Each structure stands twice: as C-alpha cells, then as structure tokens.
Amino acid sequence: MRLFNIIELAKQYMVLGMIIVAFIGVIAGTGYFIVYKKIMKGQKRIRPQNILWTGTFLCYLVVVLSATLLDRASTWSDGRIIPLFYSYREAWYSFSEAEWRNIVLNILLFVPLGFLLPFGIRSFRRFWVTYLAGLVVTVLIESVQFILRRGVVEADDILNNFLGTMIGYGFYILFREIAAAAKRKRFSAFKLAVAQIPLAAVVLTFVGIIIMYDKQELGNLAVGFNSRIDMSDVKMITNEIYSSESKTAAVYQIPVYTEEETRKIAENFFALQGQVIDESRTDLYDETAVYYSTEQNSLWIDYVGGILKYSDFAVSFGDDTEDGSYPKPVSGADESTVRKALSEYGINVPENAVFQEQTDESSGYEFIVSQQSEGDLFYDGSLYCTLYEGGKLGDISNNILVCKKYKEYPILSENEAREQIQTGNFRYYGQTGDEIKTLDLGTVNLKYIVDSKSYYQPVYSFEARVNGEKAYEIDIPALENDSEEK
C-alpha cells in the first residue's frame, strides 16, 4: 500500500472518529446541561481544554482500533505468534519500501498515545505508568486479533507500538520543558535528554541499517532464511549426487526505470497503436506504474527491468467491428506471425526463444528464454500474448528480463548448498501443522533471482518433497558471501 493510500485510509478513520466523538458529545452535553445543570442543579463546570483533550483522545482511539481490528482480513496462522524481529528480518532481506514503511507506521501509530496520556491525565506523567499503559493496550489489541482471527499476530507489533509509546512520552516531556522555560520555570535538561533515548535509539538503528545496506555491493535476496529450522529430528533423503566442484557464476545488472522513463515507454507504446495516455487515470505504485490510453487500454510497467503487461479490452472482450462481428482469436499461428504482431507493438523477442502455443482456451502464445547469453547481455523469462484477427494482440505479458553482465563471483558448490539445507539455513513456508519430518531432495539447478538492488543473482534451486507428499522448491543463495550466516 502506498503512503498516499495510507493517508487516505487514515482520513476515513479520522472522519469516523469525529462522527463517533460528535455523537458521544451530544449525549454527554445533553446529560450535562439538562440532567446535571437543570434537573440536579449541579455547579461543577467542565473546562474547555478537558473537552478538547477528551475529543482528541477518543478520535485517536477510533483510528487505532479501526486500523488494527477493522481494516484486517480474517486470517488464521495455526495459533502461531510470529516471533520477535521476524518483520525486521523480512524487511532486511527484501529491503522493500513497503516492508520498512509498515514497521515505521507501527511505531508512529502509538506515538500519540504516549503524548496524550500524560498530557491529559496527571497520573500518567510518571514515565513507567505511560509505558505500562502502552504495553497493555498493544497486548490487548494483539490478543483481540488472535481471538477474532483479524490479521496476523506479531511480537514485532507489540515491540513497535511500545517504542511508539515511549517516543510519544518523550515528545510530551519536550513540550513540558519548553513550556516551563517559556514561563521561566525550572528547566530539566537531564529529564529531557533521558526521555529522548527511545527516539534516538530508533533513529540510530535505522540509520545504521541504511548505512550497512548502502555499503553492500549487491542487494539482499528475499529467499534468504528468516529463522533457522530445527533439523535435528528431520530425516533427509536423497538419491542424487551433488557436485563438490568450486565454480564461478556471473551476476547481472537489471535496468531500473524512473517514473518519467516509464511514462516515455507508455507514450511510445500507445503511439504505435494510434493512442495517447489518458492523463486522468495514471496510477503510480511503489514498484509499478500503470497507464491507461484514451481508449481505456492499460499498460503496467515495473520500474525494475521494465517488465510490462498490456490489455486491449476492446479486443479481449469483443468490441463490434464495422460489419457487426467480433474480433476472433487466432489459433494455429506460426512463430513468424506472432513475432510480426509483437513487433507492431514495439516488442522484439530474442531469436533463440522457444515458441509454443498454449493448449488452453486462451488461444495464447508463449516465448520462453532460459538464461540465454548474447555477448554481455543476458535474457531470462517468458512472454505470453493472445493473438486476434487483423494482427491485434488482446493481452501481452512480457516478463523477459534483459540484463547486462556485471561481474563474476565465486559460488558455493552444489554439495555446500545442500549442507545449508542440512543445517536448517533455508526458507520454509509451511504452517505449524506441517512440520518437516522427512525431506527428500531431488535434482538441483542454478537459476537467477532479482535482489533488492536490482542485480540478478544466481540461486541453487533444489526440487524437494516434504513428508513424502508435498512438492517443494528450496532456494539457496549461491554466492559464497550471501550464503554465510548473517
């Protein structure tokens, strides 16, 4: 989810909070002015600042509860609580903006709680009382999520919310000391400095992570193991003989496009069809730019690699032609015909790509390029398209990466990669009820995966069977340094 979407969602919750607060305010006001003041002749006055604080705090609670309980799909994680620092490791291996943003937002979510509690209630002005309150609230929320199966229960959420509470309390101390200084009252620099320790620790941690990542030559691989698997009771079986030969393998660099560059690609693509971009419908996401033509055709372009997906809705869903008929899919077309149709859309498929017609009802055609080198260029991936009468393409999904050779690196041998599996250093996506009892390893091949810095890295992919039934694929980073325990 993009930051813009998160802000829009927060606005919706804020509106909901304001409506609820207004409703409560009407009821409370009626009780105060009619029941308390007129009927009971009460004399106690309510201070305006107390009304403002109460309304703000209630509105904040509505936002928090809506974000943590209402805006969650009903899920189940087999009774598991995701262990501490799991989300941090996930964010490190993928190093995606979305993963880090989720962590930061979970911290920021409880900053207002740490500020508002001591600001409005005297007993919370002792740091440990506010800290405890923040911990209790986040544990209660996670417990309700667990019971109602709303979202996934993560220990990291508790940690991040608690950090947010501490940071919020630090902001309260800052506000209090500035107000004291303005009134020429006693100013405690020590209390102020101590209260900012949580904020400083979080900032320094994130700065350290960024510096460490920036100093790496290559990026991280999402297939890196998040937590070590206990293999002590697992029976490993294999009939394969894995090579112990030391080798080197190339790493390739994938082009990365800016938003402006993807727009230029879209303009040129649509121009070949006599179309222009519909300026009112462009969507820019973290990893993809989506453009629409004035004829409402869509073009999705990934920033990394320029991977694109095109849909011509008039062709795919049958738009009337002049004679009242509908465009018909073409089956049995030969390779040259499909290549020619693609060239009309500005797409040229590598010469040695394997061509095949799909056998399902989609009447589609596919080109497959498997790790093909031409000089310093490296092609890998597939292209799928649907062909209609008149040489029109209803859909194009071009997933062929075109990379340039970056550098040769020493890699693990096949046997060393197997040893990584034997020690539990691999990523397993099974559920709690699907623990590994037997692991049957089959053939292994060297494939490539995009890392977090847009390099194409070699990875050993083992065919495996879990507990004699479930087919599985285990990926082990092949570069020697990437395979060491981090």
What confidence category does residue 168 fall into, taking pLDDT thresholds of 50, 70 and 90?
A: very high
Q: Of the candidates 405, 437, 456, which is a domain's last residue?
A: 405
Give the per-residue pLDDT at 334. 93
Structure tokens at 458: 């070699």
Domain extent, residue 474, equals 235-249+407-483
Structure tokens at 429: 């996506």
What confidence category does residue 37 fall into, taking pLDDT thresholds of 50, 70 and 90?
A: low
Give the per-residue pLDDT at 486. 39
- The yes-or-no verdict on residue 348 having pLDDT over 80 is yes
Whether residues 188 and 267 fall in one domain: no
Whether residues 323 and 386 fall in one domain: yes
- The yes-or-no verdict on residue 196 having pLDDT over 70 is yes
117: amino acid identity, one letter: L
Compute the distance between CA of residue 65 and CA of residue 243 in angstroms, rounded to an integer. 55
Whether residues 296 and 153 fall in one domain: no
Sign of CA dihedral 367, 256, 426, 244: positive
Whether residues 388 and 460 fall in one domain: no
Torsions phi, psi for 103 (to 5 deg): -65, -45
- Give the contacts of 301 (CB within 8 A, at least 6 positions apart): 257, 262, 265, 266, 288, 289, 290, 291, 307, 308
Whether residues 460 and 413 fall in one domain: yes
Whether residues 287 and 397 fall in one domain: yes
| CATH code of the domain in which 243 resides | 2.40.128.690
What confidence category does residue 8 fall into, taking pLDDT thresholds of 50, 70 and 90?
A: low
Whether residues 284 and 162 fall in one domain: no
Q: Residues 111-148: pLDDT tens digits?
A: 999 999 999 999 999 999 999 999 999 999 988 888 87
Q: Of the candidates 350, 377, 405, which is a domain's last residue?
A: 405
179: amino acid identity, one letter: A
Please tell me the total count of domains within the chain.
Answer: 3
For 311, the enclosing helix (H) or strand (E) is strand 308-311
In the beta sheet, which residues pair with residue 373?
Answer: 378
Strands 288-292 and 298-302: antiparallel
Q: Quick one: which of 303, 286, 257 has its CA closest to 101?
A: 286
Whether residues 30 and 151 fall in one domain: yes
